[in-house]
Chain A
Amino acid sequence: MPETRRSFLKQSVATVAAVSATGCAPDGESSRRTGDLSADDPGAGPAPLPAPTLRAVAEAVLPEELGAEGRERAVTAFERWSDGLEPVAELSHPYLVPETRYSGPDPRPGWAAQLQGLEKECRARHGTNLADLDVAGRRQLLARGVGQAGPGLGSAANANHIAVALMAHFFASPVATDMCYRRTIAKQQCRGLEGAPAEPEVLAARTNGAPSEGRRGALTIATGAAP
């Protein structure tokens, strides 16, 4: 029965890639502990994602073209999205399939554990915080955790690694589409019918109103709202 499956998944612990990006547990038994926390106490909220480490990851995996402000908006949007995520939620019914489908178990404890593990490995290998490591060094650490993921970005909620989740969330946003095309497409935003026939307007750059020139100048684009 679908409901049984839902209850099962609700109770099951998100151990998605809880073993850190480095392949080692964040701290001794902590991947188990993280899991136990939500299994034993379903009332407890998800483990918070450590903000400084999340931002250090974002700097390594989101486009530089966003600029610091744009990147901060993208990370904040991700945090809001992550806060609102409900594990094992009922999904839209697939067309002509008489079953109820649910989203997976909570990925957040796994992501939090990965972030802790990254800091730990960074200190062990490089004697520094992740934020103080250069971007190339951060990417090397992240690449092992990302493993065989891809070739598509998939949905953020299904990402087995926090870096992939961050990228999947950002690149699915209307902001990213506009940035890619350098046009104001504003996908899935209620835009009225009048503008539909026109070629979308060229996206203005914040600095001088000119089209964005790669990584120079953060773009004047709205951040996708979280529900």
Chain B
Amino acid sequence: MTRVIESDVCIIGAGITSAMVAERLAERTGASITIVEAGGRTASLAERTHTRARMLAYGENPYPNDHIPDQTGTGEMYRQMVVGGSAMHWGGAIPRYSPEDFRLQSLYGLGFDWPITFDDLEPYYQEAEERIGAAGEQGPPDCDPRSRPYPMPPLPLSYNLARMREWTDRAEVPFWTQPWARNTEPYRGRNVCQRCDTCAVCPTGAKYTPDFALDQLLTAGRIDLIPRTLVRRLALEPGTDRIAVAEAVNRDAPDEPVEFRAGTFVIAGGHAWSSHLLLLSANSRFPDGLANRTGNVGRYMTGHWFVSGYIDLPMRLYPGIFVNNSLLSHRFASPGPLDRYVRHDIRLWESDVGRAPRLRNGDGSLLWGDEIMADWRERTESGATARIRAYYDVLPDRDSRLTLDGTNTNVLGDPMPRIDYRPDPTTLDLEDHTHTTILGRFEHLARTAGGSIMSTRSSRLYEHPGGGCRMGDDPATSVVDRWGRTHDHENLFVVGAPTIVSSGCANGTLTFCALSLMSAEEIGKGFDRT
């Protein structure tokens, strides 16, 4: 027999963007909210001390059961499908995008403008920072604009980072502390950071993970959370374009279908599964998938690439003091007028690369105990290593695409997603120039310190990915409007990562959260205020 669950709002996915939408709607409206999540529960806060210890000792995954074995796509995508989503594992670096990111076409004549500006999003950035609990300091206002201070002071600069900042000040490149989703004060019932330095799994609860917010909403009776239930398809109200039902399967009882009926549906499935669900939901009215009248679902998949390296510094540092804090500069993401386009951020960490204990010395001779220690000491006393990385933006191409892969199905026979990312040709034209410019800046920093570049590499991994349901005012070139409402279905929203137009040169999750809150404001208009 089919189990039917009714609510005003049905949110698909229980990751960080879902938590944002649910929290805002629960606080500001009287709407009944159901969240349906394909994954189950993973390690609770109490269990994370143990799973952390095993991660440190053996490299084990600190979040057991955080994925669904047969729900496996192809291409760069997160493995996690679990209550809390990928932000259970995240590092919690939460910079904002730069104002330029929203106006690339107007300012530089390439890429696309978003239908919103940085200023439109700014209040939602602030709100997201307050909900998450952001610890940060503002950089120079011309490249790090904000209307109000961070809710918490920044993580303190370690001895190592303070010495490194003296160096970058000499190079006249402004660096400041990376903003983090980690408490520097007790915040919303969570602990202060204890510098355990394993932020992938935080044993103290100082790092924000979405399960905290979801559990508070559950305790307050403001949401229903239905885990281990995979939505396979959205179906229309007969004769209309309105969504009537989310058809799902309880993974513990696959023969008993579950139907979610709601006035408003919100897809918060992250960058891959959101487009995937729309494509899977094809029907006779929408043969290419829901919200896909103009064929844009799954297109313009995007992320940023990076150039990274290690710098040899003539200074005495002590790697291990606080590896999980870093310095950030957005100076080159807000460069002003340019002869030739190149924008990127830069971040710096302490590192022991080139200065770790080793079994063989430079000649290849085998070393034993004291010899290893002596060789190690010599290399740590002769200088220190800084890790450096610059994210730069990749302009998305229309054919950068998520499709259904009929050759790879889950146990239910549903085709899994396949993502073939592709950069816009302009990005490829600019690639050498981008790399040369970034490496020149690394070189300048190294020289100012009296040091040298040890090694560099470039990566084409599409980090902090998004796209697939990009926002726009024109339905011919976009899937959702500025609020995340699909052009084709007035009661269907897609929130967060899938809706971005381009991915900037900074970690994306804070932006995904801000966009989700903006969507939540629009969704909330349909309900009484509480």
Specify which of B158, B159, B196, B369 is in contact with A61 (CB 8 Å cutoff). B369
Most B CB atoms within 10 A — which of A91, A98, A183, A185? A98
CB–CB B61/A98 < 8 A: no
Contact flag A193-B67 (CB < 8 Å), given A171-B372, A225-B53: no
| B-contact 0/1 string along A171-190, CB 8 Å cutoff | 10010110111010111111
In this complex, what residue of B is CB-closest to A227?
Answer: B53
Is A67 an interface residue when CB atoms closer than 8 A count as contact?
Answer: no
CB–CB B196/A93 < 8 A: no
Please report the C-alpha to C-alpha distance between residue A189 and residue B320 in the assembled complex, in whole angstroms.
10
Is A192 an interface residue when CB atoms closer than 8 A count as contact?
Answer: yes
Q: How many A-B residue pairs have CB under 8 A?
A: 186
Contact flag A63-B373 (CB < 8 Å), given A91-B59, A98-B79: yes
CB–CB B193/A200 < 8 A: no
Please report the C-alpha to C-alpha distance between residue A215 and residue B89 in the assembled complex, in whole angstroms.
42
Q: How far is the CB of B290 from chain A (nearest CB, A)?
A: 24
Is B322 an interface residue when CB atoms closer than 8 A count as contact?
Answer: yes
Contact partners of B184 in chain A: CB under 8 A: 193
Interface residue count on the B side (C-beta < 8 Å): 70
Is B190 an interface residue when CB atoms closer than 8 A count as contact?
Answer: no
Nearest 4 interchain pairs by C-beta: A187-B320, A227-B53, A150-B359, A150-B360
Cβ contacts A to B, 18 pairs, < 8 Å: A61-B369, A64-B369, A96-B78, A97-B76, A98-B77, A139-B368, A151-B359, A152-B358, A153-B357, A171-B357, A171-B372, A177-B319, A177-B320, A179-B373, A187-B321, A190-B194, A197-B159, A215-B370
| A-contact 0/1 string along B450-464, CB 8 Å cutoff | 000000000001110
In this complex, what residue of A is CB-closest to B91?
Answer: A95
In this complex, what residue of B is CB-closest to A71?
Answer: B369
Q: How far is the CB of B206 from chain A (nearest CB, A)?
A: 9
Q: How far is the CB of B186 from chain A (nearest CB, A)?
A: 12
Specify which of B66, B204, B366, B370 is in contact with A143 (CB 8 Å cutoff). B366
Specify which of B58, B74, B321, B366 is in contact with A98 (CB 8 Å cutoff). B74
Is A155 an interface residue when CB atoms closer than 8 A count as contact?
Answer: yes
Specify which of A99, A146, A193, A198 is in contact with B155 (CB 8 Å cutoff). A193
Contact flag A191-B195 (CB < 8 Å), given A3-B69, A143-B366, A157-B58: yes
Please report the C-alpha to C-alpha distance between residue A179 and residue B369 in the assembled complex, in whole angstroms.
12
Within 8 A of B (CB), among A85-136: 85-86, 89-93, 95-100, 103
Is B157 an interface residue when CB atoms closer than 8 A count as contact?
Answer: yes
Most A CB atoms within 10 A — which of B55, B60, B75, B361? B60
Is B364 an interface residue when CB atoms closer than 8 A count as contact?
Answer: yes
Known: A3-B69, A187-B320, A227-B57. 20 other contacts (CB 8 A): A65-B370, A81-B57, A93-B67, A95-B463, A96-B78, A98-B76, A103-B59, A146-B359, A150-B360, A153-B356, A153-B359, A167-B359, A176-B357, A180-B373, A180-B377, A190-B194, A192-B194, A195-B195, A199-B159, A227-B58
Contact partners of B321 in chain A: CB under 8 A: 185, 187, 196, 200
Specify which of B89, B320, B359 is in contact with A188 (CB 8 Å cutoff). B320
Q: How far is the CB of B373 from chain A (nearest CB, A)?
A: 5
Is B318 an interface residue when CB atoms closer than 8 A count as contact?
Answer: yes
Is B203 an interface residue when CB atoms closer than 8 A count as contact?
Answer: yes
In terms of DSSP, what is the predominant structure of the interface of chain B? Answer: loop
Please report the C-alpha to C-alpha distance between residue A85 and residue B465 in the assembled complex, in whole angstroms.
35
Is B526 an interface residue when CB atoms closer than 8 A count as contact?
Answer: no
CB–CB B368/A60 < 8 A: yes
Contact partners of A99 in chain B: CB under 8 A: 72, 79
Contact flag A227-B320 (CB < 8 Å), given A93-B79, A146-B366, A187-B197: no
Is B430 an interface residue when CB atoms closer than 8 A count as contact?
Answer: no
CB–CB B370/A188 < 8 A: no
Contact flag A103-B64 (CB < 8 Å), given A179-B373, A197-B162: no
| A-contact 0/1 string along B368-380, CB 8 Å cutoff | 1110110011001
Is B54 an interface residue when CB atoms closer than 8 A count as contact?
Answer: yes
Contact partners of B70 in chain A: CB under 8 A: 1
Please report the C-alpha to C-alpha distance between residue A152 and residue B362 in the assembled complex, in whole angstroms.
11
Please report the C-alpha to C-alpha distance between residue A152 and residue B319 in the assembled complex, in whole angstroms.
18
Please report the C-alpha to C-alpha distance between residue A143 and residue B155 in the assembled complex, in whole angstroms.
46
CB–CB A164/B158 < 8 A: no
Contact partners of B78 in chain A: CB under 8 A: 93, 96, 98
| A-contact 0/1 string along B141-182, CB 8 Å cutoff | 000000000000001111100100000000000000000000
Within 8 A of A (CB), among B426-454: none
Within 8 A of A (CB), among B331-377: 356-361, 364, 366, 368-370, 372-373, 376-377
Specify which of A92, A176, A225 is in contact with B60 (CB 8 Å cutoff). A92
CB–CB B60/A181 < 8 A: no
Contact partners of A188 in chain B: CB under 8 A: 56, 196-198, 320
Please report the C-alpha to C-alpha distance between residue A179 and residue B372 in the assembled complex, in whole angstroms.
12
Is B525 an interface residue when CB atoms closer than 8 A count as contact?
Answer: no
Is A226 an interface residue when CB atoms closer than 8 A count as contact?
Answer: yes
Contact partners of B194 in chain A: CB under 8 A: 190-193
